[in-house]
Structure 1
Amino acid sequence: MNLTKVKIEELLISIHHVLTNHLNWKVDEISFLANGVINAVFLVKEKNLGKLAIRTPWRSEENMMDKHSSGVISLKKEAAISEHCQKYHIPVPKVHLLYLSDDINFLVSEFVLGDDQEISSFEIGILTSQIHKVPLDGLSIIDQNEQTLSSIIAHRIAERAQTLSQLINTNIVIPSTEEMEAILNTSQTNNSLLHLDVRPPNLIGKNGRIQAILDWDNAFIGDPIMELMRISESQEIAEKEFLKGYKDVAIIENTKEIIQSIYRLDTALMLSILFISFIQDSRKRGHYLKRVNGLSQEIKKYTG
């Protein structure tokens, strides 16, 4: 399912109707900016508030990549985590309004202006470290539901492996969810807030400095090794430079390879499904299918 011009226009009209008729805002202009896998983003110019960014889910619930995903959950997570991060000076857009209804759901945030200058992987490493050091201070992630990250990842790997097996008509052999969860639970690293989608498209920069980090759809509380393995496996950031900025590389050195491999497998499975079903890219699809096979074999050696 792709975001069509017809769907963009439908969303634009719905948002404009709510802003002007339900909220009595004075909208001077509204235009489509971009979209991700879950949300479309619109730029609104409002007479009193100025430029605003509005995120709204565009993909139907049944067409989400993970069956536990939800457009409403996406917006609620973004709002709650952004408000929490702002208290600790993490650069996130200020949230103005979360609007939920039977007709349309959207989140209104400050519009942060950036430029095309590249943000260094070193700077991204510094920011990721700062996020991992944010006090949790009672923060609750709506779709974590008091589950441990170990439990979530173990079950998600099983679900993703089943989905990918069906897509490629090949059985992917992995340990049981109980075995994977038990292995992940042996990690000695303290829990942190994890963004879990740290990459250039989710960062707004100006003059090479980060102005804001967006898109907390994937966020959880748990082992920061998960974040580091996802960044490494995704290959969208220069890893050596990133780790220089992150600094605390000892947590990787002190984490068992089997734990690292399980977290990597979760990412490789997700990217394989992404490049088969959602984004047509044969090169990346082939790469991540090989990674799934290789990581599955590595994990099998440890677990027998």
Structure 2
Amino acid sequence: MNLSNTELKKLSQKVTHVLMNGMKWQIDEDIRLIGSGVINAVFLIRERERGLLAVRTPWRSEERMMDKNSSGIISLQKEAAIAKHCAKHQIPVPKIHQLYIGNDINFLVSDFISGDNQKISSYSIGKLISKIHKVPLNDLFIIDQKERTLSRIISERIAERAISLGKLINTDIIVPDSGILETILDTSNIKNRLLHLDVRRPNIIGENGIVQSIIDWDNAFIGNPIMELMRILETQELNAEAFLEGYNETELLKNTEDVIQLIYRLDTALMLSILFISFLNDKDKGEYYLKRVQLLISEINKCL
């Protein structure tokens, strides 16, 4: 994160000013940085009545623009809306206290959930994701999905990611036409569900091996749960057998055509190729996922 001490101080001062002067909260300790991502910085504060709180705020100037279409603002709104919806259905998420969209600073305040270093089993994570997938959608609206289907999002994203990867390696990555991919994905009759789509241990807070909370809904969409399963299996960060045992809906995979599973895997493999080649500079993993991309494209073409 390219956040200077000067910028860090400005952000913390702005957040503190709004909380103490605008909202009349009583902050007992100095605000401090506890984490950061591509878009947001996360601060820890202690409020006299509310206890320990996490404050998430966009840290890059272009993400803090007061434009309703700014990804920074959308990120906060998305996290708040999904967390509130999940809380109604007993999904372990941090309680949302305040979403603030202002003229000079934007931030989201939620409970700070502490955890320990004890590993959460893949089986337990599978049970958690199964529970999320059973959450009633009701009137849940994903702000950056709008009215688009997941099939359209993924098919168009595959084309975009193929172009981006091709530029990185200076070789054209030829993928099937997005319209064809969308049509294939639309043949699935599995009901849409809420998908987290970034199921990794850093996003699951636990204590004594028990899940306390799941966070970071930036990638979330409503759509076919096979996408979630394929992303988890393709990233290989969890034990696949144990995860699926905990998930306990293996009939979904059995009843889904291989080509649909391959398309969802391709979206993930393209993302990981770009991540490891361009951002993390991991040569071995970059090469591995580049080979996965080529293999998946070949397998999909055989099905067409």
| TM-align CA RMSD | 1.7
Amino acid at match of 1:41: V
Residue equivalent to 1:87:
88
Residue equivalent to 2:12:
12
Distance 1:72 1:147 in 2: 20
2:220 is the alignment partner of 1:223: no
Cα displacement string for residues 84-119 of structure 1 (whole angstroms, at most 9, x for unaligned residues)? 011110000100000112322111001112111110
Residue equivalent to 1:65:
none
Distance 1:5 1:286, change over 3 A: farther
Residue equivalent to 1:46:
47
Residue equivalent to 2:164:
163
Residue 226 of structure 1: how far off its partner (Å): 0.1
Distance 1:267 1:61 in 2: 27
Cα displacement string for residues 47-101 of structure 1 (whole angstroms, at most 9, x for unaligned residues)? 2211001111224558xxxxx9811111111100110011110000100000112
Distance 1:253 1:69 in 2: 40
* Aligned ranges 1:68-147 → 2 under 5 Å: 70-147=71-148
- Specify every segment of 5 or more residues in structure 1 that has no aligned partner in the other structure, as ranges: 63-67
Judge which range, 27-36 or 233-242, deviates more.
27-36
User: TM-score, with normalisation over the residues of structure 1?
Assistant: 0.93
Instruction: State percent identity of aligned pairs.
Output: 60
Partner SS state of residue 28, structure 1: coil
Partner SS state of residue 96, structure 1: strand
2:50 is the alignment partner of 1:33: no
2:246 is the alignment partner of 1:245: yes
Give aligned pairs, total: 298
Amino acid at match of 1:278: F
Distance 1:302 1:125 in 2: 30
Distance 1:69 1:247 in 2: 38
Residue 296 of structure 1: how far off its partner (Å): 1.4
Partner SS state of residue 51, structure 1: strand
Residue equivalent to 2:183:
182
Residue equivalent to 1:204:
205
Partner SS state of residue 109, structure 2: strand
Distance 2:302 2:12 in 1: 52
Distance 1:69 1:147 in 2: 19
Partner SS state of residue 140, structure 1: coil
Distance 2:149 2:71 in 1: 20
Partner SS state of residue 34, structure 1: strand
Amino acid at match of 1:100: I
Amino acid at match of 1:248: E
